Every structure is written in C-alpha cells, then in structure tokens.
C-alpha cells in the first residue's frame, strides 16, 4: 500500500513530466519542418533545427533546469538527415525516448532510463538510412509526379505550372511527415523497423517508384523532341524515314535518346555536366550531316 502511495505522490509532483499530446507532436513537427535548413552549419549540420523542434516538448518533460540543459546539449551534437522521412520519424522517436528517460528520472529509476548514449546512437544510427529512403521517394519520385502534372500548364504560360508543384509538394510532405512523427512517437525505436522493413511501407515505396517511372516515361515521350530529316526516293516514290518510324512506333527516336543517356550515366557515372556536353555535341553533329 505504501509503495502505491509513493508512486502516486511522485506522478503528482511538480517535477513529474507533463503528458505529451498530439498538439505537442504537431508543434515539434512544425518547428522542425519550418527551420530544418535554416541554421545549417558544418560542425552541427541541422542539429540546431532538430533541437528547435524538440524544445517545447523537452520543457514539458524536464522540470529540473540541469536536466533540461543536458537534454538541450545532447541534441546539439552533429545531426543530419532528410527533412521528412528522417526528420519526422526521428522527432517522434527522440520524443518517445526522452519521455521515458524523464519519467524514469522523476520516479527515481535513473538506472532503468534510456541512456544518453542510447538516445544519441539511435539518432545517428538511423539518420542515414531514413535519409536515403526520403531522398529517393521525395526528391526522386513525388516531386516529379507533381511537375509532370503541371508541365502542360507551364507550356501554356499559366502561372499554375510553376506554383502547383511547389504548393502540392509542400502540402503532401507536411502531411505524411507529421504521420511519421506520430508513428515514431508511438512505436519508439521500433518505428525504424516499420519504415525500413515494414511490408506496407515497402509496398507504398514500390508503388510510388512504378508511378514515378510512368511519369518519367510520359515526360520523355511528351517533351523530348527528336526527329530525323532523312528521306530517299525509290522508283519515283519518296520514303520519309520519320513517317516510317511513326507508323512502327511513335516516339522511337526520343525513346532511344533517353535510353542512350541512361546507359551513359549507368556506365560512366552520374555526371550531368559531361552528359549534357556529349549529348549536345552528338546532336549537333548528327544535325549538321543531315541525319536529324
């Protein structure tokens, strides 16, 4: 009975951490999302932004000034990750670990609390893997889907051609970034397993990748213009090579051009400058001799 009474007294004490709510998670996510690239430095990278996001939550968890200072200092160590998949998930995970640590300290169970090293190692160990997923999906797929949708408007001179991708990409990443924050908080360190090995996430990534390939194919077919001017006459009948190619497979030359560029990057490495120079020189030569 006395043990239960002591436990109740501890949880009701002024130094006991306040509960973390969805509003707190949203506040942390908004602060990180808004400021993640603002204080970018070589020695800490985006750690100040990460701390800026966690500050309201940490103030609710650590009522002792020294404990709060220590929490601030450990989240100022070198940290760098992709803003949405990495930053959102790790914001939630860090909040969950800090809450467990703060409660254990307040209840006198410091030896059972998540250690400082464990919190830092969790962030460092996951920031690269999660950033890789985020860069591939956000920068390599999602933004190009919105760009492909808006390109016809841009070619018609509409301002929405420029605004639509920017606005939609910001809204979409904000929404699922907050979802990752909540998931990270709810699952703790297991959130990384859900992202890196979860079947649902793998299915979503595969679906987005396929959709991204379709969109890139549409872009290549619609906006890569390559024609041949070759033609010849047999028995007083003129044969236009471009018309023959169109009857076999419309867009064959743009497709071959895109495949040639892809194979070049695959064999020689992803050097865009060299690729553009070689492509330009090749097209100029073929045009000068009358093939294109």
Residue-wise pLDDT for 28-81, tens only, equals 999 999 988 888 788 888 999 999 999 999 999 998 889 899 999 999 988 889
**CA end-to-end span of the chain:** 91
Torsion of CA 84, 89, 95, 97, to 10 degrees: -150
CB 50 within 8 A of CB 37: no
CB 253 within 8 A of CB 220: no
In the chain, alpha helices (H): 2-11, 22-35, 47-61, 65-74, 85-106, 116-134, 143-155, 160-187, 190-197, 199-223, 241-248, 252-268, 272-288
User: Which own/partner pairs from 111-119 qualify as long-range (CB within 8 Å, at least 24 positions apart)?
Assistant: 116/70, 116/74, 119/74, 119/94
166, HSE (Cβ side, Cα atoms, 13 Å): 6
The pLDDT score that the predictor gives to residue 9 is: 58
| Helix, strand, or coil (residue 238) | strand
Q: What's the gap between Cα 281 and its chain centre? A: 35
Q: Which two tokens stand for residue 186?
A: 């709810």
Return averaged pLDDT per consecutive 10 residues of the chain, 292 residues in all. Answer: 48 80 93 87 88 93 90 91 89 90 85 84 83 78 82 84 90 91 79 54 59 62 69 72 72 76 77 78 78 70
CA dist list (Å): 124 to 76, 97, 130, 167: 12, 14, 11, 31
Distance CA 91, CA 9 (A): 30
CB 103 within 8 A of CB 17: yes
The pLDDT score that the predictor gives to residue 112 is: 80
């Amino acid at each position: 009975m006395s043990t239960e009474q002591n436990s109740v007294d501890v949880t009701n004490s002024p130094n006991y951490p306040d509960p973390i709510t969805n509003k707190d998670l949203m506040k942390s996510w908004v602060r990180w999302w808004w400021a993640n690239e603002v204080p970018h430095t070589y020695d800490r990278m985006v750690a100040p932004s990460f701390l800026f996001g966690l500050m309201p939550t940490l103030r609710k968890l650590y009522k002792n000034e020294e404990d709060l200072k220590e929490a601030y200092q450990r989240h100022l160590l070198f940290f760098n990750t992709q803003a949405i998949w990495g930053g959102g998930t790790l914001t939630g995970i860090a909040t969950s670990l800090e809450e467990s640590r703060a409660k254990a300290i307040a209840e006198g169970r410091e030896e059972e609390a998540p250690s400082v090293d464990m919190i830092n190692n969790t962030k460092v160990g996951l920031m690269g893997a999660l950033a890789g997923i985020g860069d591939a999906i956000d920068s390599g797929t999602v933004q190009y889907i919105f760009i492909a949708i808006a390109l016809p408007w841009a070619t018609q001179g509409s301002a929405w051609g420029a605004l639509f991708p920017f606005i939609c990409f910001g809204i979409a990443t904000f929404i699922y970034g907050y979802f990752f924050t909540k998931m990270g908080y709810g699952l703790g360190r297991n959130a990384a397993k859900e992202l890196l090995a979860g079947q649902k996430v793998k299915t979503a990534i595969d679906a987005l990748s396929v959709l991204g390939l379709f969109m890139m194919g549409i872009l290549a077919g619609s906006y890569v213009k390559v024609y041949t001017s070759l033609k010849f006459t047999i028995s007083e009948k003129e044969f236009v090579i471009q018309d023959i190619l169109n009857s076999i497979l419309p867009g064959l030359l743009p497709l071959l051009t895109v495949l040639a560029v892809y194979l070049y990057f695959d064999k020689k490495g992803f050097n865009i400058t060299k690729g553009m120079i070689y492509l330009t020189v090749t097209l100029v030569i073929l045009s000068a001799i009358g093939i294109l």
